[in-house]
Copies of this chain bind each other. A is one copy, B any other.
């Protein structure tokens, strides 16, 4: 299993996200080897009929959490690309609460990374969504 040679800080990843995903409200709360915790504020425009947070909003968050966990493990690999994302929507998130996404990497290979993401309404223990994602790593 790979380990990062050069520690990347939470602040560096946040700066990268702020530049790349402008206006996305993706906050890096914690990053470690093979792990990331993100937080995303939910605004009125992210809601769907019935007051539900939109699926794509949660998919964006899951994808970002995987990306951040890869950065925390391998450094800023900006050319890592998602090849598969499987999202399960479990229950309606609270409309008024921010969402958190906790990503754990299951495999860090030479050419691909697989990770697991649990999304929760902030302050709740039961997950609202779950994702498994695969990223392809650029050849070095």
Contact = CB atoms under 8 A, between A and B. Distances in A.
Interface of A: 1, 20, 22, 45, 48-50, 52, 55-56, 59-60, 63, 78-79, 81-91, 106-107, 109, 111-112, 114, 116, 118, 126-127, 130, 132, 134
Contacts of A88: 83-84, 106-107, 114, 132, 134
A63 to B, nearest CB: 5
A132 B86 contact: yes
Contacts of A59: 55-56, 59-60, 85, 87
Given A90-B106, A132-B130, A55 B85 contact: yes
Contacts of A55: 59, 63, 82, 85
Number of copies: 4
Given A60-B56, A89-B83, A126 B1 contact: yes
Contacts of A126: 1, 107
